[in-house]
Amino acid sequence: MKKHFLIISFSISMLLSILIVSCQPNVSIETAQYAVNGQKLYITHCQNCHGAKGEGLGTLYPPLTDSTYLRQNRHQLASIVKFGMQGAIEVAGKTFDNAMPGIKELSNIEIAYILTYVTTTFGKDTKTYTQEEVQESLKGHQ
Amino acid sequence: MKSYLKFNFIALAISVFLISCSSNGNEKKLPYIGESTVNEKTVDGQTVTDTIPYAIPSFSFLNQDSVMITDKTFENKIFIANFFFTNCPSICPTMQRNLLQVYEKYKDDDRVAFLSHSIDFKYDSPAVLKSYAEKLGVTDDRWQFVMGSKKDIYGMADSYFVYTKEDETAPGGYDHQGYFMLIDKNKHIRGAYDGTLIDQIDLLLADMEVLLKEQ
């Protein structure tokens, strides 16, 4: 009898927790806040070239929707935003070789906001791009 | 005095009625932009006035294929003119992204052409413009990218009423407006649209249809 009770209460709490989790969005509050702040900065600094949906433009400016590129180069992203980029890269199966200017006036937290927005909205990530990651990425340049 | 007022009121009501009729009843007509010239002629002893709307002056510029193109290139076509430069970090990418939509909508339609003037006379050679055009996705000569001397290009911008200026403090070194100027078959300016705003592009597309129906 006691065993039965245990099983029932266990399955009820399992059900409850599944319900609660599925009601939550799949990103944390912090990530959502970073992304909201990032969107404003993205519109100011990035949208002209990369587009409102991160679609890029022809082979002039690469799209920001290539999740594989974003994941493989995650550690470099902050440095690209701040210091720009030279030379050819391949994104979404196309080659891009226009230089990208850096935006030196951005602070670490602002870069974290922008990259959280980009990687969770255009890419398929669900994690915050943290200030620590930004710091780590910028190390090579300081 | 009272009847005079009453008369005035009736006249006002009639004219409002007429105006509202003419704007609702007829199809939309595009305005002529710029100051028109009035020529007076004497025909059979009578003075006849002839009003000629403003038209852009003739021009010749080198395009992305290093071919000299002129106003004759746009004969019997309506076209959209704008001013940009390939290294422009501010409004140009948005402007050209929007114009590309219009270009793609009128694919295979020879009645419509596009003319982008580079205001970076130092850097934007035909080879640079060619590479830019290809990367943007422009594959035929319906969209011309042209360069010229500073005097010619900036003078042309004045003729289109588009502000352009070499300015070290501006992003990329040049300051300019992002207008799309709609030009008819007789080189008259018929519309001006902010090329950075999506709802202005919808207006441009609608006006182009009006202009294409015009004789």
Query: Could you read off the pLDDT of A98-142 as tens digits, one per residue?
Result: 999 999 999 999 999 999 999 999 999 999 999 999 999 999 775
Residue A48 lies in a domain: yes
- Any chain B CB within 8 A of the CB of A93? no
Closest Cα in chain B to A52: B94
- Any chain B CB within 8 A of the CB of A48? yes
Residue A91 lies in a domain: yes
Residue A19 lies in a domain: no
Nearest Cβ partner for A48 among B91, B134, B136: B91
Q: How many residues does chain B have?
A: 215
Residue A12 lies in a domain: no
Query: Could you read off the pLDDT of B131-158 as tens digits, one per residue?
Result: 999 999 999 999 999 999 999 999 999 9
Residue A93, Ramachandran bin (φ over 0: left; ψ between -120 and 50: alpha; else beta): left
Exposed e or buried b per residue across B75-109, where buried means at least 16 C-beta atoms within 10 angstroms of its C-beta: eebbbbbbbbbbbbbbbbbbbbbbbbebbeebeee
Write the CATH number for B64: 3.40.30.10
pLDDT beyond 60 at A20: no
User: Is the sign of the CA dihedral B173, B150, B61, B182 positive or negative?
Assistant: positive
Chain B nearest C-alpha distance from A60 (Å)? 5
Residue B171 lies in a domain: yes
Exposure on the CB side of residue A114, measured as CA atoms within 13 A: 24
Do the Cβ atoms of B89 and A61 come within 8 Å?
A: no
Q: Give chain B's contact residues with A (Cβ, < 8 Å).
A: 89-94, 96-97, 100, 132, 134-137
* Tally of domains in chain A: 1
Q: What one-letter code names the amino acid at B67?
A: V
Residue A41 lies in a domain: yes
Write the CATH number for A56: 1.10.760.10
Write out chain B residues lying below 8 Å of A60, CB-based.
93, 132, 135-136
Query: Could you read off the pLDDT of A68-108 as tens digits, one per residue?
Result: 999 999 999 999 999 999 999 999 999 999 999 999 999 99
- Any chain B CB within 8 A of the CB of A43? no
Residue B155 lies in a domain: yes
Chain A nearest C-alpha distance from B100 (Å)? 10
Q: What is the mean pLDDT of residues B119-132?
A: 96
Query: Could you read off the pLDDT of A24-56 as tens digits, one per residue?
Result: 457 899 999 999 999 999 999 999 999 999 999
Residue A93 lies in a domain: yes
Residue B193 belongs to what domain range?
A: 60-213
Lowest-pLDDT range of B27-31, B99-103, B118-122, B139-143: B27-31
- H-helix or E-strand spanning residue A112: helix A108-117
Coil, helix or strand for A31?
A: helix
Do the Cβ atoms of B96 and A57 come within 8 Å?
A: yes
Residue A32 belongs to what domain range?
A: 27-141
Q: What one-letter code names the amino acid at A65?
A: T
From CA B160, how far away is CA B142, in angstroms rounded?
20
Do the Cβ atoms of A48 and B137 come within 8 Å?
A: no
Query: Could you read off the pLDDT of B21-67 as tens digits, one per residue?
Result: 454 546 789 999 999 998 888 888 888 888 899 999 999 999 999 99
Task: Measure Cα distances from B127 to A80, A142, B87, B147 in Å.
Answer: 28, 37, 14, 11
Residue A39 lies in a domain: yes
Do the Cβ atoms of A57 and B91 come within 8 Å?
A: no
Size of interface A-B (CB pairs under 8 A): 29
Do the Cβ atoms of B136 and A60 come within 8 Å?
A: yes
Residue A2 lies in a domain: no
Do the Cβ atoms of A48 and B90 come within 8 Å?
A: yes
- Any chain B CB within 8 A of the CB of A60? yes
